């Protein structure tokens, strides 16, 4: 029987306490275990929220989540501070140009898996664009990033990911809050673990944020790792990742935890292919698989200003880390 974690009409606040030291996550299939990634049994099925209606989790023709899967949500959660934790009210993210927004505290529909853990069926888009994500063998972790900080856990399996529509962006700013200790080397970008994006066959206008050998990268088409960081982020810590792109020049800046991490130039033009994107996969699911816990994903169809970028990074750190 399907259980639903409904949309919250209240603000869910972040707090400073961390996961208990004896919690263990799933082992990465090709990498080290992901420590402290939430209870193995998934915790409470209802995550302490009341039922607020059902969600149609059917898939559309191209495999993405149904465009009519649930109500149009336009609000999200932009403040924090529970149980005496710090308030995040002073960091209010802009919504101008927001075309995709997933938040693990909101709009997750689950069903009970064979092992008894809550498996994600649908992750509702909070941007108002109805680009709802369809979960494929993905686990809901009520305390994946700490007490009161849930996450959506992909498992590093060939068919463990969240599937959504390609938002078809040119200029963009992307934010991903995640943690992983998964590492897999790759000679080509399409063999690398994929954080967010898609790979169409051949030399198509596709793109993805990738994690080759635990390093953060961004790439277009079949040109290889156009941008690849020197440092790694596969240390099991919760990270706030940002990527800002100028579609006309192809210039991309990658940031981690509020600081520039890598930059470079990739192929120009709108990212139109494939028709779907994935979290923790790309078109070839086996090649793009990734074992990670995801808390929040934001995609804007424009380059945010430095000030806007900084506010969102501070907000995400306040809610998910500090």
Q: Which residues contact 244 (CB under 8 A, 6 or more apart)?
A: 172, 173, 174, 252, 253, 255, 303, 304, 309
CATH value at residue 180: 2.60.120.200
Q: Tokens 């596709």 appear where? A: 206
pLDDT band at 283 (very low <50, low <70, confident <90, very high): confident
Name the residue range of residue 187's domain.
Answer: 2-9+19-70+86-320
pLDDT at 246 over 90: yes
At 40, phi and psi to the nearest 5? Answer: -65, -30
Mean pLDDT of 167-174: 97
Which range is least confidently modeled, 75-84, 137-146, 226-235, 260-269?
Answer: 75-84
Indicate whether 79 belongs to any domain.
no
27 membership: H or E segment, kind and range: strand 24-27
Out of 28-32, 85-89, 246-250, least confident range: 28-32
With 0-12 / 13-18 / 19 or more C-beta atoms within 10 angstroms meaning exposed / middle / buried, residue 209 is buried
What average pLDDT does the segment 287-295 reach?
95
Mean pLDDT of the chain: 79
Residue 137 belongs to a domain:
yes
Is residue 141 pLDDT above 90, yes or no? yes
CB atoms closer than 10 angstroms to residue 35: 15
Instruction: Look up the pTM and report it.
Output: 0.76
Query: Is 75 part of any domain?
Result: no
Number of domains into which the chain is organized? 1
Q: Which residues of 235-271 are buried (b: 16+ CB within 10 A; e: fewer)?
A: ebebbbbbbbbebeebbbbbbbbeeebbebebbeeeb
Listed residue (138, 127, 106, 169) closest to 293, CA to CA: 138
pLDDT of residue 191: 82
Comparing 5-19, 230-244, 294-308, the range with the smallest average pLDDT is 5-19
Q: Sign of the CA dihedral 149, 243, 98, 140?
A: negative
Helical residues (DSSP H) of the chain, grouped into ranges = 285-288, 306-320
Q: Rounded mean pLDDT of 222-242?
A: 87
The average pLDDT across 42-66 equals 37
Is residue 78 included in any domain, yes or no?
no
For residues 259 and 39, which has the higher predicted lDDT (pLDDT)?
A: 259
Q: In this predicted structure, what is the pLDDT of residue 225?
A: 54
Residue 245 lies in a domain: yes
pLDDT of residue 170: 96
Mean pLDDT of 140-151: 96
Q: 256: which 2 tokens?
A: 């981690």
CA distance 116 to 78: 32
Q: Do 155 and 138 form a contact (C-beta atoms < 8 A)? A: yes
């Amino acid at each position: 029987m399907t259980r639903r974690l409904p949309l919250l009409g209240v603000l869910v606040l972040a707090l400073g306490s961390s996961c208990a030291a004896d919690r263990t996550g799933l082992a990465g299939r090709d990498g080290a275990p992901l420590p402290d990634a939430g209870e193995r049994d998934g915790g409470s099925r209802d995550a302490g929220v009341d039922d607020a209606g059902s969600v149609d989790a059917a898939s559309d023709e191209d495999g993405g989540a149904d465009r009519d899967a649930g109500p149009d949500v336009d609000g999200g959660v932009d403040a924090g501070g529970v149980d005496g934790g710090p308030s995040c009210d002073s960091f209010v993210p802009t919504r101008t140009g927001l075309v995709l927004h997933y938040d693990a505290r909101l709009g997750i529909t689950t069903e009970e898996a064979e092992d008894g853990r809550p498996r994600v069926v649908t992750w509702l888009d909070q941007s108002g664009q109805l680009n709802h994500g369809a979960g494929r063998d993905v686990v809901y972790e009520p305390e994946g990033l700490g007490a009161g900080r849930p996450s959506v856990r992909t498992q590093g399996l060939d068919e463990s990911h969240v599937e959504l529509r390609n938002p078809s962006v040119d200029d963009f700013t992307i934010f991903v809050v995640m943690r992983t200790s998964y590492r897999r080397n790759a000679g080509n970008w399409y063999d690398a673990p994929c954080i967010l994006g898609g790979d169409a066959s051949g030399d198509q206008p596709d793109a993805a944020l990738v994690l080759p050998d635990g390093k953060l990268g961004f790439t277009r088409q079949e040109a290889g790792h156009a941008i690849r960081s020197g440092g790694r982020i596969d240390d099991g810590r919760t990270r706030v990742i940002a990527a800002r792109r100028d579609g006309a020049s192809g210039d991309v800046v990658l940031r981690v935890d509020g600081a520039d991490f890598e930059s470079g130039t990739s192929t120009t033009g709108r990212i139109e292919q494939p028709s779907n994107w994935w979290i923790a996969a790309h078109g070839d699911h086996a090649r793009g698989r990734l074992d990670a816990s995801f808390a929040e994903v934001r995609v804007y169809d424009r380059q945010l200003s430095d000030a806007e970028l900084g506010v969102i990074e501070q907000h995400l750190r306040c809610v998910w880390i500090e």
